[in-house]
Chains A and B, each alone.
Chain A
Amino acid sequence: MDNQNNLDEFVRLMQAHKGIVYKICNSYCNNRADREDLAQEIIYQLWRSGNTFRTGQKFSTWMFRVALNVAISFYRKRKSAGAVVSYKEHLTDLADQDDADYENELEKARRALQQSIHELNELDRAMIILFLEAKSYREIAEIMGITETNVATKISRIKEKLRQKIQPINN
């Protein structure tokens, strides 16, 4: 396959998976500029890592590995530079911008979930994103590089944390 065909195929795959790329960015960055920077970096690293994708390998497993690794590294760099703002500050800004959305209970719950995810450490965030994207424990274990038992225990603990945060909105 020549370079142009590779590029066309890559763009097609990106079009198909752009939603999850942006959801990952949303879970690791609080402001729009950072999210766009991270999306750029993920797309670039996916392109650059293309030669590590093996025929027969599940595309989503490969893509999640690259995207989550880039997102965690990006978050850590921003944290070292002191550029990570709390999600609460971000929510206050959003609330000022569009109060209408807050009328919607599901929208409230979505933001509460997003805030709870932002309060987790970067590795737990990756685990819960994979769980919410309906990945099996086996696939999560493969992406994260830990045992399935470890995945099950961690997911259970993270869900308990989220339950405590989101319960009041759910009721």
Chain B
Amino acid sequence: MEDEYLKGVWNYPDQEIEQYMAQMDPSFEMDQLKKAKAKLRSLLFPKIVGIVLGLGWMSFMVLLLYLSFLHSPNSLGKLFFMGSIGMILLSTGIAVILYAKDIFTLQRIDHSASVFFTQRKLASLHASMLNAVRISWLQLPFYTTFYLNEGLLAQGGPIFRIIQTLATGTTVWLAIWLYRNINNRNIQNKRIRTFLQGYGFESLLQAGEFLNEIESFGNEVESVPTIPSVADPHPQE
């Protein structure tokens, strides 16, 4: 099939395009600009709400730490409480900062760079949201320790101690395992998928796949000899 035939078919008038172009006067373009601005703002809104909720949760924990520091007597219980809440705060804080940084970078991405560069950067940014997810899982064991105090440890009895040790041990193991295994390479793994539900799993999965696809797109055949069939049909003047 000749190249010219393909181009002729491509340039054959499309009624829908003709209709669309007929309505495009200068005021139409101004309207398009306004509508697009409003729409993009509305898309950003849920992400900002997510960040605000994260900051709200962090503020609540800071308040708990402050009240505990001021009002509770020095004891083992205070140590467990402040240590656990502090670690939850740290893990949430890092995750919120990483998420906010990615959202901010996404908003400011340069669309006029080459397609390969821009799309690789976008896919990397989406995929790097996995970092926020894996870090947020690190806080899991501290939900099993913040309530511990001398009284519980002394009077809880052997059953309480066994259950407590099992709960903390399991969550420590799970948090470390998830931190080490949540990455683009393992995203297809069924067990990992279970822990990514609710974090926009499909979008993360596709970003990871697209990242692999775009890497191979850029790396393919760098040194194929120029044969007649691949010679430039319309060289630049």
Partner pick for B210 among A18, A76, A156, CB 8 A cutoff:
A76
> In the assembled complex, which residues on chain B have CB atoms less than 8 Å from the CB atom of A113?
6, 9-10
Partner pick for B21 among A22, A110, A152, A156, CB 8 A cutoff:
A22
Q: How far is the CB of B193 from chain A (nearest CB, A)?
A: 15
With A110-B9, A132-B6 already in contact, the answer to whether A123 and B213 are too (CB < 8 A) is: yes
Given the complex of chains A and B, what is the CA–CA distance between A41 and B114 in angstroms? 18
Partner pick for A152 among B6, B26, B230, CB 8 A cutoff:
B230
> In the assembled complex, which residues on chain A have CB atoms less than 8 Å from the CB atom of B24?
14-15, 18
How many A-B contacts at CB < 8 Å in the complex?
A: 171
Task: Tell me if A135 and B220 are in contact (CB < 8 A).
Answer: no
Q: How far is the CB of A78 from chain B (nearest CB, A)?
A: 11
Task: Tell me if B36 and A123 are in contact (CB < 8 A).
Answer: no
> In the assembled complex, which residues on chain B have CB atoms less than 8 Å from the CB atom of A26?
14, 16-17
Contact with B along A47-91 (1 / 0, CB 8 A): 101001100000000100110111011001001101000000000
Partner pick for B232 among A15, A147, A152, A163, CB 8 A cutoff:
A152
Task: Tell me if B122 and A146 are in contact (CB < 8 A).
Answer: no
Given the complex of chains A and B, what is the CA–CA distance between A40 and B200 in angstroms? 26
Assign chain B's interface to a size class. 35 or more
Task: Tell me if A101 and B15 are in contact (CB < 8 A).
Answer: yes
> In the assembled complex, which residues on chain A have CB atoms less than 8 Å from the CB atom of B7?
132, 134
Q: How far is the CB of B129 from chain A (nearest CB, A)?
A: 12
Partner pick for B230 among A45, A145, A155, CB 8 A cutoff:
A155
> In the assembled complex, which residues on chain B have CB atoms less than 8 Å from the CB atom of A121?
213
Given the complex of chains A and B, what is the CA–CA distance between A153 and B11 in angstroms? 24
Task: Tell me if B221 and A150 are in contact (CB < 8 A).
Answer: yes
Given the complex of chains A and B, what is the CA–CA distance between A143 and B3 in angstroms? 21
Given the complex of chains A and B, what is the CA–CA distance between A145 and B200 in angstroms? 30
Given the complex of chains A and B, what is the CA–CA distance between A150 and B9 in angstroms? 25
With A106-B9, A123-B217, A137-B235 already in contact, the answer to whether A68 and B115 are too (CB < 8 A) is: yes
Contact of A119 with B by CB under 8 A: no
Q: How far is the CB of A95 from chain B (nearest CB, A)?
A: 14
Main secondary structure of the interface of A (DSSP, over half): helix
A residues contacting B by CB (< 8 A) are 7, 11, 14-15, 18-19, 22-23, 26, 32, 35-37, 39-41, 43-45, 47, 49, 52-53, 62, 65-66, 68-70, 72-73, 76, 79-80, 82, 101, 106-107, 109-110, 113, 121, 123, 126, 132-139, 142-150, 152-156, 159, 162-163, 166-167, 170
Q: A113-B6, A113-B9, A170-B1 are in contact. List 17 more A-B contacts (CB 8 A).
A: A22-B17, A22-B20, A39-B20, A43-B33, A45-B111, A65-B112, A66-B112, A69-B119, A72-B119, A113-B10, A136-B235, A143-B114, A144-B115, A144-B116, A145-B114, A153-B220, A156-B230
Q: How far is the CB of B102 from chain A (nearest CB, A)?
A: 15
> In the assembled complex, which residues on chain B have CB atoms less than 8 Å from the CB atom of A145?
113-117, 218
Task: Tell me if B221 and A153 are in contact (CB < 8 A).
Answer: yes
Q: How far is the CB of A168 from chain B (nearest CB, A)?
A: 11
Task: Tell me if B12 and A11 are in contact (CB < 8 A).
Answer: no
Task: Tell me if A170 and B5 are in contact (CB < 8 A).
Answer: yes
Task: Tell me if B35 and A40 are in contact (CB < 8 A).
Answer: yes
Partner pick for A43 among B1, B29, B115, B232, CB 8 A cutoff:
B29
Partner pick for A138 among B17, B37, B226, B235, CB 8 A cutoff:
B235
Closest-by-CB residue of B relative to A155 is: B230
> In the assembled complex, which residues on chain A have CB atoms less than 8 Å from the CB atom of B59?
none
Q: How far is the CB of B160 from chain A (nearest CB, A)?
A: 46
Closest-by-CB residue of A relative to B230 is: A152
Partner pick for B122 among A73, A153, A156, CB 8 A cutoff:
A73
Closest-by-CB residue of B relative to A48 is: B111
> In the assembled complex, which residues on chain B have CB atoms less than 8 Å from the CB atom of A62?
112
